[in-house]
Structures are given as C-alpha cells and as structure tokens.
Structure 1
Amino acid sequence: MPFRPIDMLLFLALVAGSSYYADHWLNLHGTIATAWKGLGVGLLALWAFARGRPWIGLVLAFGAFGDVLLDAVSLTVGAIAFLAGHILAVGFYWRHRRSPALPVFPVTLVIGSVAGMLTASGNWVGVAIYSLGLGLMFETAWTSRFSRTTVGLGAALFVISDLLIFARLGPLAASPLPGLLIWPTYFAGQALIAWGVVSELAREDLHDRI
C-alpha cells in the first residue's frame, strides 16, 4: 500500500495505543487517562476515514467511544457502544464475505457460552446479547475475504480481550493476568483489523486502476 502523509495518523495511533499499556502501572485517573485510552483507536478510525474507508472507520470510532465510556460512565454503557460497532462490523464483513460464505453461529454460541460461564454478573441477558454481537463479528470477519492473518486474527484477539474482561468479573477476579493482557490483545486486534481492511481495499483499488 503506497505511503501517504495521512498515514502518519496510523503511526500516531500505534504510538498512542501502545503507550497506554503503561497506565496499567501508572494507574492514572480522570480526563487525561480517559482521553489517552480512547486516542489509539480514535486515531485508527481517523486514519480509516482519511483513507476513504468510512464503514470500517465508523466501526473503529464506536470502539473508541466504548473505550472512553467504559471509564467515563460505566461498563454497561461502554459495552453498548462496542455492540453498536460489532453490528456495523457484521454488516461490513458480510458484504465482503467469501463466496460461498462458511456457515456462521457455531463459534458464536461457543463464545456466548464461555462468556456466560466466566462472568459472575447477574445481567445474563446483557451478557448474552453482547456475546451474540461479539461472536457474529468474529465469524463474519473470519469468513470474509479479508486476510485471516490480519483481520481474522484481529477479530480473534478482540474476542480474547473481551473474554478476559468477563473472566476478571468472575473466576479471575483476584488474578493479575486479565489486567496484563486485556489492553494489548484488544488494541493489537483493532490495529490488525484497521490495517487489514484498509490495505486490502487499497490494493484492490490500485489493481483496478492498472
């Protein structure tokens, strides 16, 4: 994919998102910490928009909103923003599905079952609805025509990150493992999705012009 000046947004996104991992030890609070958390995926969204990919840009934007709302408001409100992004992602990946597309739902059911077992929350309905969106996002990403080493892997890392969040609410509440792994798996997943989609569509555009 040819480099453009707007690709500095991608570089800045990677710096912002990677550096936020330090907050696991700094444990900052307030507006600065919340803005820092949302900056990485927010810049990925801006980069996708600047590259002319508004649909995946909007998916990433909802992810950035979710990052901010998780801290600024509550886990439930942040999850709603992420769910909206998952729904948009399902539509996007389904539009770009492989032909013929592999059947969906089995992995979705597994993800939902694991999430339900991990969380100690009494909000079973909310967990089930969110897990449905998460699972469908992963399955449609995996069965899309985008590379599984970027977009497919990115979606898988996103799932792992969310399952670690559920585990932190349940059986791993006293373990340091979720805190160490949630952010790197999540941000790496979002970065791989952004790069995989934008670069693949850019290659296709270049091929069409040749």
Structure 2
Amino acid sequence: MPKRALIEKRPWLLASLAAGIGFWVLKDSHLPGLYQMALKGAGVALLAAYAHARHKGADSRQIAAVMAFGALGDVLIELSLELGAVAFLIGHLIAIHLYLRHRRASISFSQKLAGAALLVLIPVIAFLLPAERAAAPGIALYALALAGMTACAWTSSFPRYRVGIGAVMFAVSDLLIFARLGPLAHSPLPDLMIWPLYYFGQFLICTGVIGELNSRSKPR
C-alpha cells in the first residue's frame, strides 16, 4: 500500500507502527522510564483502536479487547511480571473464545497435528525453562492459556499465514521471556528478539482478523 494511502486510510496502523518500532529503538536509550512505558503500551493500544475503527461487530470488539489487554500487559509487566501475565491471560482467554467461534470447517491431519503440537509443547517448554523451579508451575499454567490461544488461532478460519503465524510469534516471544529466567539469562538474544516478535505478532493477528472480517462482510 502506498505511504499516502496508509496515512489516509490506516492512520491507527501507521501510529501503531511508529510507536512499536519507536519503543524498540529507544528502549535502551536515556528516555525516562514513564515515557518508555507509555510508548510501549501505545503500540498495541493503537491496534485496538484500529480494530474498533475498521470493523463494527462483536468479533471486532473481541479482537480489540485482546489488543487492549495486551497493551495493559505491556505496561504492567514493567511493574510486575505477575500483573502483566494476568492481563495477557485475560487477553488469551478472549482470543480463544473468538477463534473457537471461527474454527476452520475442514482441518487437514497435518494441521490438526500442528495444533496439537503447539498445545502440548508450549507449556512443556515453558515449564522446563526457568532456573527457579518454584516459579515453573505458575509459568506453565500461564503457558497453557498461551498454547490454547496459539493452537486455536492456527486452526481457526482466519488467515493462517497472518493470524496463525502471528500467534506463534507471540508464543515464541513469551518463551524467550521465560528463557531469560533460565538458560538465556546471560544471552543478548531475548532483549533483541522479544519485542519485535511480540509486537509484529500482535500486528499480524489484529490486521489478519480485521481484514478477514471486512472481507466476509462485503456484498458478494
């Protein structure tokens, strides 16, 4: 899409991209912490605004709510990992409900296998990652909801190469957060990859769902 068309027709997306990329560029700068938190939360909050503006209906309100709880989690996680996890957990449950209502009518065996693998492997990996074993059960419980969201997105009727891939990117981002509590504690990889995987995963989920809803609502 030409830049001018993006500005005129998708201002919320343009603003979201500016905030999301801006946070990644500035997160290790001398920008005061409160400004960084605001910039971080704005990236996905603006996706919620985009979802609300681009389509009217219960489904678009649900994906907007998913993005809103994601934005809340982005801010709260800077204060407490547990508070951030609760916000994300609520978002995952809303997303699961949405995806189950839009389950793909016909799912191939390989895609069923992929969905099952996501559902099992994500919480198992999450459980094994933290060095502090007392934290592992709580992390695995959260990861079970994350896995449910990812598997349901993958097997939903929304575009797999946008919504499904976006959900997988989100899951990998969270696994990197847990890996930072264990085997990658001293690696630069989590700091480099967590935010871009998460933000662009959310971007793909939101635009994929809204694009599909808009396509279905057009007269045929």
The more displaced of 110-119 and 23-32 is 23-32
> SS where residue 99 of structure 2 aligns?
helix
Give identity over the alignment, percent.
Answer: 45
**Does the alignment pair 1:16 with 2:16?**
no
Distance 2:187 2:10 in 1: 38
Distance 2:147 2:6 in 1: 34
Match of 2:47 in 1: 44
Match of 1:158 in 2: 170
TM-score (norm 1): 0.92
Match of 1:77 in 2: 83
Distance 2:102 2:188 in 1: 39
Match of 2:206 in 1: 194
1:122-155 alpha-carbon deviations (Å, 9 max, x no partner): 2233112101000000000000011111001100
Q: How does 1:131-142 map onto structure 2 within 5 Å?
A: 131-142=143-154
**Does the alignment pair 1:173 with 2:176?**
no
> SS where residue 119 of structure 1 aligns?
coil
How far has the Cα of 1:12 moved from its partner?
Answer: 0.7
Match of residue 68, structure 1, among 75, 100, 110 = 75
Q: State the AA in 2 paired with 1:67.
A: D
Distance 1:154 1:106 in 2: 17
Match of 2:97 in 1: 91
The more displaced of 61-70 and 43-52 is 43-52
1:115, 1:163 within 8 Å by CA — same for their partners in 2?
yes
RMSD of equivalent CA atoms: 2.0
Distance 1:175 1:195 in 2: 32
Q: How does 1:52-63 map onto structure 2 within 5 Å?
A: 52=56, 53-63=60-70
**Mind listing any 5+ residue stretches in structure 1 that lack a counterpart?**
none
Distance 2:10 2:176 in 1: 31
Distance 1:173 1:28 in 2: 25
**Mind listing any 5+ residue stretches in structure 2 that lack a counterpart?**
none
Q: State the AA in 2 paired with 1:112.
A: P
**Which stretches of structure 1, 4 residues or more, deviate above 6 A after TM superposition?**
1-4
1:65-91 alpha-carbon deviations (Å, 9 max, x no partner): 0001011x2001001100110010000
How far has the Cα of 1:30 moved from its partner?
Answer: 2.5
Distance 2:185 2:32 in 1: 21
* Cα separation, partners in 2 of 1:4 and 1:183, compared to 1, 3 Å: closer
Distance 1:7 1:132 in 2: 34
Equivalent pairs counted in the alignment come to 207
Match of 1:148 in 2: 160
> SS where residue 186 of structure 2 aligns?
coil
